[in-house]
């Protein structure tokens, strides 16, 4: 069935912030052939393009005067098992939910992405910003992805090296931005369980509360991560949000030492070349946690996690962006640290 191109479509149901922006043109595709068919249409070729997955990392500040292409390519399968190193290749269609892939992998007895449980969004969006949580990043399990070039319609494979992964970064947010649409992702997961990564955040203490004191299974780590995320982060179905709005900044060791001198309680995690400081802590110290703004408190900062900006109902994207800019300015003034949005602002 050919993909249908629609005009003047509300995007409110397609972004987790619940912002009521419109797309001049809109179409969903469920296969590479449907995508190619859309890309051949003259009105699509001539228009700016926005690729939409789960809409969980977007803030619309205006209507989109182009074509929004909604990726609905499904499919979860095991491609290959390597008995020598007990690894398994798992392929997921880009339109699958990320957490659905995690659940599928756990059901197959596979480990490697359990720390990334309950991250919202689709599989196709995951490599664009190299999603990460609780000490694990997508690149740790990544094998390759398949993507269609917008101009030619050709399908190309990208290895991990070619993706240029960094902290919440990839080549698709830089030199190849808006040039490819991811159609499938392949991960290399482990059949023989390695030592679980429980050192980051509250995973270890949460496991202890669950009665797990040593050698947790991937399923138990996943359960702990889900419990932590649900306790800290609002459900987009209840309160509009896009999860963590800002990246955690990385500072030099000298800068961190100076911060610790002035603010001894400053938390930090060693990273190559410096220290990562939790953005949520910086924002909370500036008094933003639980802040509400707009008539009737339409939008603000989540009361349990200062890293999350929320739309309580009826906020515009421009209002949320203005709040983000205020937060950035206050953190810069107090700590001399520049915050950068993790969310893609349109």
pLDDT of residue 145 exceeding 80, the answer is: yes
| pLDDT at residue 191, as a whole number | 85
> From CA 122, how far away is CA 183, in angstroms rounded?
11
Question: Tens digit of pLDDT for each residue in 264-315?
Answer: 999 998 888 899 999 999 999 999 999 999 888 999 999 989 999 999 988 9
pLDDT, residue 231, reads: 85
Q: What is the tens place of the pLDDT at every residue in 166-219?
A: 888 899 988 998 899 999 999 999 986 666 777 777 888 888 888 887 888 889
70 neighbors 142 (Cβ within 8 angstroms): no
What percentage of the chain reaches a pLDDT higher than 70? 98
Burial of 213 (0-12, 13-18, 19+ CB in 10 A): exposed
Strands (DSSP E) contained in 54-134 are: 58-59, 64-71, 76-82, 87-93, 132-133
Residue ranges of domains in the chain, CATH in brackets: 6-71 (3.30.43.10), 76-231 (3.30.465.10), 240-345 (3.90.78.10)
Distances (CA, A) of 68 to 9, 172, 337: 9, 17, 35
Predicted local distance difference test score (pLDDT) of residue 89: 94
Band (pLDDT 50/70/90 cuts) for residue 3 is low
DSSP string, 48-67: -EEEESS-TTEE-SS-EEEE
**Could you identify the residue written with the tokens 């000298």?**
254
Distance (Å, rounded) from C-alpha 57 to C-alpha 107? 27
**How far is 200 from 204, CA to CA, in rounded Å?**
8
Q: What is the dihedral of CA 116, 21, 60, 178, to 10 degrees?
A: 80
pLDDT at 85: 80
Confidence bin at 134 (pLDDT 50/70/90) = confident
pLDDT, residue 2, reads 53
Give 234's pLDDT tier (boundaries 50, 70, 90).
Answer: confident
3-state secondary structure 282-305: HHHHCCCCCCEECCCCCEEECCCC
Does the pLDDT value for residue 8 go beyond 60?
yes
Q: What mean pLDDT do residues 232-251 have?
A: 88
Query: Percentage helix, strand, coil, to 5, in the chain?
Result: 30, 30, 45
Just list the catalytic residues: 168, 244, 342
Query: What residues have CB less than 8 Å from 151, skipping those under 6 apart?
Result: 179
Assigned token pair, 39: 């890309």
Tokens of 294: 């707009």
Model confidence pLDDT, tens digit, residues 66-76: 999 999 999 99
Indicate whether 159 pLDDT > 80: yes
């Amino acid at each position: 069935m050919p993909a249908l191109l629609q005009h003047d479509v509300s995007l409110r149901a397609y972004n987790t912030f619940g912002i009521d922006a419109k797309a001049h043109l809109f179409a969903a595709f469920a296969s590479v052939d449907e995508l190619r068919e859309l890309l051949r249409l003259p009105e699509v070729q001539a228009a700016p393009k926005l690729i939409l997955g789960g809409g969980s990392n977007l803030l619309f500040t205006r209507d989109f005067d182009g074509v929004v292409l909604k990726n609905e390519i499904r499919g979860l399968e095991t491609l290959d098992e390597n008995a020598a190193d007990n690894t398994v290749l798992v392929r997921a269609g880009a339109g699958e939910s990320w957490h659905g892939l995690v659940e599928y992998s756990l059901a197959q007895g596979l480990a490697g992405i359990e720390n990334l449980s309950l991250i919202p969004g689709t599989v196709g969006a995951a490599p664009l910003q190299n999603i990460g949580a609780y000490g694990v990043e997508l690149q740790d399990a990544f094998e390759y992805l398949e993507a269609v070039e917008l101009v030619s319609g050709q399908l190309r494979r990208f290895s991990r090296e070619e993706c240029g992964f960094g902290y919440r970064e990839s080549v698709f947010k830089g030199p190849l931005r808006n040039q490819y649409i991811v159609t499938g992702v392949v991960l290399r997961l482990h059949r023989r369980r390695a030592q679980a990564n429980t050192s980051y955040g509250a995973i270890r203490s949460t496991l202890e509360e669950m009665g797990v004191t040593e050698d947790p299974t991937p399923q138990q780590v996943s359960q702990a991560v889900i419990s932590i995320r649900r306790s800290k982060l609002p459900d987009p179905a209840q309160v509009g949000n896009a999860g963590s709005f800002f990246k955690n900044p990385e500072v030099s060791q000298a800068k961190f030492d100076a911060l610790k001198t002035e603010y001894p309680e400053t938390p930090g995690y060693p990273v190559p070349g410096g220290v990562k400081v939790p953005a949520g802590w910086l924002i909370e110290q500036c008094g933003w946690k639980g802040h509400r703004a707009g008539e009737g408190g339409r939008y603000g900062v989540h009361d349990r996690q200062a890293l999350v900006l929320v739309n309580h109902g009826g906020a515009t994207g421009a209002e949320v962006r203005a709040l983000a800019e205020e937060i950035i300015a206050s953190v810069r003034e107090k700590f001399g640290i520049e915050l950068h949005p993790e969310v893609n602002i349109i």
